[in-house]
Chains A and B, each alone.
Chain A
Amino acid sequence: MRGRPFLASRRSLLGLALLAGAALLGACRESLDSGGVCSASSPLCPGQGVEIRDTIINPVLAFDSTYDGFPGRGAEYFLPLVSRGDTLQTVVVVRYDSLSTFYLPALDTARSITYVDSARIRLMIDLARASIPDSVNIDIYDVDAGTADDTAAAPILARLKPQYRIGGGKYAKAQLIDSLYVSLKDSAVLAHVRDTLPVTKGRMRIAIRVTGKGPVAFRIGSVESSAAAYLWYRPSNDTSARALVIAPASAGPADRADVRRDLMDYMLVEKNTLPTLPGTMMLGGVPGRRVYLRFNLPKNITDSTTIIRATLRLTQARYPFGDPSDSVIIHPHIVLASQFITDNRRASTLIGVTGLVITDSLAVVPRDSGQRTLELYALVRQWAAQSASPNAPARAVVLTAANEGTFPRVAAFYSSSASAGLRPTMRITYIPKIGFGVP
């Protein structure tokens, strides 16, 4: 047999080509990371050559403002029932402006209601962070002053008197679980059902008020949280007739559907004598306060460097009132309002949700004092990224208390008008734009 040189055969050439192809394909997949031999002490990787600078901006605020009344009337997800003796008292107002005046007996036609039995309201109770003594008095008042559009608080508060009390009772702490039925006077409900006056026909408006031996604070559900206080009554002594369940509703004002919705149920502060601390920004409490902070940061740092940290440093002032030993959770929010919105109270409502851009939060105890910090680097980076935008948001942050407007706890921080050692400052850690990377 006549042999051919090994490399001259087609088969051997094909094998060689396959080997070369396999090697090439294997090498196409790059693996460049040699960090396995790097460490802080490794002489091969002694450092990055990046300079990190640190500076404190003081003062960091152009101004600060505290606004109260949050959340707005009727916007509460949970309605606070608070009683702290001489210092703080709230009531919850619920409107039932669509009372049923007829009922349907079984297998019969509709009949006018002439009898009411077992009238009561159902409260959905939220016990989170509640403070409840051994027993609680819950009083229900008829606060319908008979006016057409009584959006003012004074006429309602004026009716929180014994003669207008139409229900309630004393409840042990153990009875306050997730829901509670509070009895009403059947005659009072019947009077509203049978009311024929043009203004007050078919409506009932109540105020719920709590008191107790010691501070009381808990929340009940609202229309906003789909856990509103429903009115319940039997329209007949015929036990086969179904009980009527009336949801909160507001008939006025006629020209404002949004306000009507707000007025279905809402909270009113009957009394609040908790002091304010001058020279401070106060957060939380009832009604809720929030703080608007407008920053004044040097653009040569924020816009031309890489921010690693931007720590807002606040000095907490001791506030020994309310629930001084309970904690207040504080959330910073980005302001979505543009810099052209000059109404800062309005701007303080145009904010991002909790956790948007800023993920840090604070938990403080009102009676404590000292420096507290909030990390805002992501926001400062965002401001830098937006600096060229003609409609950039204001360089501002709004601080709110968790469960805003539902607990009496207040946190106070020294404002920008305080002395240099107490006012808010910001510590910024950044990498300047330098020529790193040159061997």
Chain B
Amino acid sequence: MRMTSRVCVTVGAGSTLLAALLATPVSPAAAQGSLSMQGFGYPIGGQSARSQGSGSALAGIDPQTPLNPASIVLNGRLQAYGQYEPEFRTVTIGGNSTKTTTSRFPLFMVTGHQNKATVALSFSSLMDRTWINTYADTQSLGSERIASTVLTQSVGGIADARLAVAWTFTEYFHVGGAVHLYPGDNKVSVGRIFSDSVHAGNFDVTNAYTFAGSALSLGAVYVVAKAHLILSGDLRLGGQLAMRLGDSTKVGEGKIPFRAGMSASYDGISGSVFSVRIGTERWSDLRGLGSSSLGLKDAVDMAIGTEIAGPRISNTPVLFRAGYRTRGLPFTYGATAVTESSIGGGIGVPFIGGRTILDVGASRATRNVPGISEKSWLVSVGIGIRP
């Protein structure tokens, strides 16, 4: 089981390695085995279980989703939140299917109030690039072609560490700002196993990459009380994002993608919220981080969803959620853009008089390009505690 959101310490490469790297062109590794794991991996995006259950339509006003720094004011009191999110993925190509299970801990957050200020420290996953592929292949050694088993593996990703501060100007207007740091690591291994009879040495070589980047984000939440509307907007201004081999040799540099989004939520029906959200993410800002052949596609993210109060436990309502989301994924498959559509649902159950909330969300995501179908279940289980 892995924790995708983590800061990793890596060991530096020696000068010999540096010289070798400078002298040799970088070549891509592209054995991901799924549409969502192209490029630098799957953009998890730090959606909380609540947001995931509503198709991410509530992301702009959800205090546990580290998207809009102004939304943290909606937490009420000090809260600690953690989330577990396994993904069950099925990829089908040419009649062949393969199923995988990936465990992730994509989000941790601590929030606190002081007068009109709210501060939140969160740690979420920007992208997860974790996959393993084992398959039979033929290797050419000189003029000889010999049977082998390929072992490829990528473990790691890029995390998003955010320190957000929000200010409540009035009961209806909140503004927030945040500083983001993007640490990350990615170990990529390539190996082959040959049969004993071919007299070739099995190999397994690993390159360990690290990432370091930064960004600023701004957001606002405005409540139009008379119209029962909650309007939110957020944007992220990306700084540099560097990729290094070990901790010394820079192999690529791009920018954290610019992101902007806005949402409108209606709470005119008692105990319920209906929300729509639209956002855009300029993934082409990553240009330069990877190889020149890496296909990048700016993406639009649209979602519609709802949260409806149900029966009460200790005077706190159980919340039911549903939503639909469609978005583009950042990395193309060849020249073809990959789109993800998902239908989600979830439930929020209060315990201990509302001091603890268990949010469970599930979404069925579909990613398709001609000839390849990928479907996955993303199950989010989040626990928030208010001391």
**Chain A residues engaging chain B, CB cutoff 8 angstroms:** 5-8, 13, 16, 20, 23-24, 27-40, 42-52, 54, 304, 306-309, 311, 359-360, 375, 377-378, 381, 427, 429, 431-439
Contacts and interface: CB of A to CB of B under 8 A. Distances in A.
A23 B379 CA distance: 9
Contacts of A436: 26-29, 188, 190, 205, 207
B33 interface: yes
A298 to B, nearest CB: 13
A42 B310 CA distance: 48
A367 B116 CA distance: 97
Contacts of B371: 43
A309 B202 CA distance: 9
B30 A37 contact: no
Given A20-B360, A24-B381, A32-B132, A42 B93 contact: yes
B311 A375 contact: no
B130 interface: yes
A20 B361 CA distance: 11
B318 A7 contact: yes
A20 B383 CA distance: 12
Contact of B28 (A377, A427, A439): A439
A434 B206 CA distance: 10
Interface in B174-228: 186, 188, 190, 196, 199-201, 203, 205, 207, 209
7 contacts: A20-B360, A43-B333, A309-B200, A436-B188, A437-B190, A438-B291, A439-B30
Contact of B30 (A45, A304, A309): A45
B44 interface: no
A433 B203 CA distance: 13
B40 A439 contact: yes
A38 to B, nearest CB: 4
Nearest to B199: A375
B16 interface: yes
Interface string B122-142: 000000011111111111111
Which of B39, B141, B360 gathers the greatest number of chain A CB atoms within 10 Å? B141
Interface residues of B, number: 88
Interface in B234-265: 243, 245, 249, 251-252
A378 B100 contact: no
A375 to B, nearest CB: 4
B133 A35 contact: yes
A437 B154 CA distance: 8
Interface stretch (B52-60, B84-92, B160-168, B299-307): B84-92
Given A8-B311, A32-B100, A437 B209 contact: yes
Given A27-B379, A375-B199, A434-B24, A34 B131 contact: yes
B141 A429 contact: yes
Contacts of A44: 31-35, 91, 93, 333, 372
Interface string B310-347: 11110000100000000000010110000000000000
A378 B201 contact: yes
B27 A35 contact: no
Given A29-B101, A52-B139, 20 more contacts: A5-B313, A5-B318, A8-B312, A13-B349, A28-B1, A28-B86, A28-B103, A32-B102, A34-B34, A35-B33, A42-B93, A43-B334, A44-B34, A48-B31, A48-B152, A54-B142, A304-B16, A308-B200, A438-B243, A439-B29
B96 A437 contact: no
B252 A438 contact: yes
A7 to B, nearest CB: 5
Interface centre among A16, A309, A437 (most CB of B within 10 A): A437
A33 B132 contact: yes
B313 A438 contact: no
B21 interface: yes
Contacts of A35: 33, 98, 132-135, 150
Given A32-B130, A34-B133, A44-B372, A307 B141 contact: no
Nearest to B99: A31
B290 interface: yes
Nearest to A50: B190
Contacts of B130: 32
Contacts of A33: 98, 100, 132-134
Given A32-B130, A34-B132, A360 B199 contact: yes
B72 interface: no
Given A7-B310, A438-B26, A439-B291, A433 B136 contact: no
Contacts of B310: 5, 7
A381 B136 CA distance: 25
B269 interface: no
B28 A438 contact: yes
B252 A433 contact: no
B357 interface: no
A435 B30 contact: no
A304 B86 CA distance: 39
Given A34-B98, A34-B100, A434-B21, A377 B26 contact: no
A429 B144 CA distance: 12
Interface string B352-387: 000000101000000000011000000101000000
Contacts of B131: 32, 34
Residue from the set B135, B138, B139, B334 with the largest chain A CB neighbour count within 10 Å: B135
B320 to A, nearest CB: 10
A37 B96 contact: yes
A20 B358 CA distance: 10
Contacts of A375: 199-200
A23 B85 CA distance: 11
Contacts of A28: 1, 86, 103
A6 to B, nearest CB: 7
B133 A437 contact: no
B103 A308 contact: no
A427 to B, nearest CB: 7
A439 B137 contact: no
A427 B144 CA distance: 13
B230 interface: no
A435 B98 contact: no
Contacts of A43: 93, 333-334, 371-372
Nearest to A47: B30
Contact of B101 (A30, A39, A47, A52): A30
Contacts of B2: 30
Given A27-B101, A38-B133, A432 B32 contact: no
Nearest to A429: B141
B96 A36 contact: yes
B107 interface: no
B36 to A, nearest CB: 11
A416 to B, nearest CB: 23
Contacts of B150: 35, 38, 48
Nearest to A299: B16
Nearest to A8: B313
Contacts of A52: 139-141
Q: Counting chain B CB atoms within 10 Å of each CB, which of A7, A24, A307 scores highest?
A: A7
Contact of B91 (A34, A39, A49): A34
B97 interface: yes
Contacts of A45: 30-33, 133, 135, 152
B154 A433 contact: no
Given A7-B310, A36-B97, A309-B201, A435 B34 contact: no
